[in-house]
Amino acid sequence: MARENLRFPPGFLWGAATAAYQIEGAAREDGRTPSIWDTFSHTPGKVLGGDTGDVAVDHYHRWRDDVRLMADLGLTSYRFSVSWPRVQPTGRGPAVQRGLDFYRGLVDELLAHGIRPMVTLYHWDLPQELEDAFPSGSAAGGGWPERDTAYRFAEYAGIVGEALGDRVEMWSTLNEPWCSAFLGYGSGVHAPGRTDPVAALRAAHHLNLAHGLGAQALREQLPARARIGVSLNPSAVRPLTASAADMDARRRIDALANRVFTGPMLRGTYDDDLVADTARLTDWSFVQDDDLRITRHPLDFLGINYYSPAVVSAATEEDAAGPRKDGHGASEHSPWPGADEHVSFHRAPGELTAMDWPVDPTGLTDLLLEYTAQAPGVPLYVTENGAAYDDKPGEDGQVHDPDRVRYLHSHIAAVHHAILAGADVRGYFLWSLLDNFEWAYGYSKRFGAVHVDYETQARTPKSSAHWYARLAASGELPREYVAD
Ligand code: FCB
């Protein structure tokens, strides 16, 4: 006898997520100037296959069709990011109206189809001019290690808030600031590709500050009903054993992956252990009076992005030598300032996706419950979750992706589990709507529920898209995974 389906709360949002640089293309159109990702992807050796976002999946020209696709799938929400260099090309000064018009049109089209937009202001495409800027007296070298970038971000947030505030209710300041700071300035596998541990820590603080200043700037522009949050990618970090040494490794990574952002944002502090662990590198004097009051701007929601858990132990000998792979690209440089010689990473159990990321939905339940406890009363959204697989059209022209359906099923069940255990989760955004430019992996990794033929730009919903459409329509997840 079939057991009852898992029912989600009424009004739960079923969405999909994308990011500007990964889908828009039109890199030089309508006044857009290069972002750090344009520069990085055009630098030989940085992105697999020399791929760039110049054309991406041409969403800048195909957005009407893409919205129709979302409507056909019955999505009730869509999370996208605004390209900073498209609306404020130099990262300072007046906005380009053509750039803003693109997003106005997109939002209107979404609303016309009953799809609620969630805008992310920063999904990693810093205007190159800000990376290149050296305000007088700055030793930081521009970009996020430079304090001024946080003030530039606040100005940009105000511009977008003013332009879209009458029609967008859900706003996220930053996407995964951990990646911006520690992959961008630490391991260097993401733009701008710098490898300086102190710059990475400075970047983390200025991203926290940007979040707070940006939230303030949005609040000034937006109607009271608007909700302002942030999307983090907290690490579900587990110790290999319960030994004191492994627990201490867990503590170190929890500090550098999670508390470096949730401390300032939720509690207005950098925890003592984080400061002590990194004391050899910096005295944190870049944190100024009042900063930690600003970073603690009240959150109307917290977005959690989750793909895979991490398993750590005290450093093992073989790990002390050789490059580390951190799941985002290989580098000689560590994204863990002050922790590398103390910690080893281990493969978590579970099948691997095409990213070599282990599949373990319990990490998602754990995180949702953890942040329910850490941010009481703050609604949660899963703002990204999904998996890459090597999807190819079959002879029938259809794209069958049972592995992705299984991944989604187990993770959405994990969300349900968290809700039953008391987490106030209001929506789920599948990463990603479309196959797209997967950062350092270029077009080699496909995360889409909709397949894109990069030669013709033809879109073909995969079986996971049809499966997700049924879920969005019913709001009920079959208890057991059923293959197509
Ligand atoms: C996240 C990013 C998103 C996408 C997924 C796979 O870290 O936010 O843009 O690349 O990973």
DSSP secondary structure of 110-156? HHHTT-EEEEEEESS--BHHHHH---TT--S-SSTTSTHHHHHHHHH
The verdict on the CB of residue 182 being under 6 Å from ligand 1 is no
Could you identify the atom of ligand 1 that is nearest to the CA of residue 22? 9
Closest to 145 measured CA to CA, from 190, 209, 82: 209
The CATH number of the domain covering residues in 6-233+280-305+349-477 = 3.20.20.80
Residue 293 burial by CB count (10 A; 0-12/13-18/19+): exposed, middle or buried?
Answer: exposed
Q: What is the pLDDT along the chain (484 residues), one digit of tens a residue?
A: 457 899 999 999 999 999 999 999 999 999 999 999 999 999 999 999 999 999 999 999 999 999 999 999 999 999 999 999 999 999 999 999 999 999 999 999 999 999 999 999 999 999 999 999 877 667 778 999 999 999 999 999 999 999 999 999 999 999 999 999 999 999 999 999 999 999 999 999 999 999 999 999 999 999 999 999 999 999 999 999 999 999 999 999 999 999 999 999 999 999 999 999 999 999 999 999 999 999 999 999 999 999 999 999 999 876 654 445 456 677 889 999 999 899 999 999 999 999 999 999 999 999 999 999 999 999 999 999 999 999 999 999 999 999 999 999 999 999 999 999 999 999 999 999 999 999 999 999 999 999 999 999 999 999 999 999 999 999 999 988 776 6
CA distance 267 to 438: 33
Is the Cβ–Cβ distance between 423 and 414 less than 8 Å? no
The preferred substitution site among 187, 359, 389, 439 for testing ligand 1, maximizing ligand atoms within 8 Å of CB, is 439
Angle, alpha carbons 271-272-275 (nearest 5°): 95
| 247-251 own/partner pairs: CB under 8 Å, 24+ apart | 248/314, 248/342, 249/312, 249/313, 249/314, 249/315, 249/339, 249/342, 249/343, 249/344, 250/312
Q: How many CA atoms lie within 13 A of 391 on its CB side?
A: 32
Could you identify the atom of ligand 1 that is nearest to the CA of residue 231? 8
Q: Are strands 170-175 and 116-122 parallel, antiparallel or unpaired?
A: parallel
Q: How many CA atoms lie within 13 A of 76 on its CB side?
A: 14
Is the Cβ–Cβ distance between 145 and 185 less than 8 Å? yes
The verdict on the CB of residue 371 being under 6 Å from ligand 1 is no
- The active-site residue, picked from 384, 395, 455, 480, is 384
pLDDT at 322: 47
Alpha carbon of 374 to ligand 1 centroid (Å): 24
Identify the residue whose C-alpha is closest to ligand 1 atom 4.
Answer: 438
CA distance 225 to 287: 32
The verdict on the CB of residue 179 being under 6 Å from ligand 1 is yes
**Residue with structure tokens 């989750």?**
306
The preferred substitution site among 438, 441, 444, 445 for testing ligand 1, maximizing ligand atoms within 8 Å of CB, is 438
Residue 376 burial by CB count (10 A; 0-12/13-18/19+): exposed, middle or buried?
Answer: exposed
Predicted model pTM? 0.97
176 classed as catalytic: yes
Q: Which two tokens stand for residue 314?
A: 């005290």
Q: What three-state secondary structure class fits 236?
A: coil
Identify the residue whose C-alpha is closest to ligand 1 atom 9.
Answer: 19
Closest to 229 measured CA to CA, from 75, 381, 367, 386: 381
Q: Which two tokens stand for residue 307?
A: 């793909």
Alpha carbon of 338 to ligand 1 centroid (Å): 25
pLDDT at 2: 59
The DSSP symbol for 259 reads: I
- The active-site residue, picked from 146, 176, 220, 480, is 176
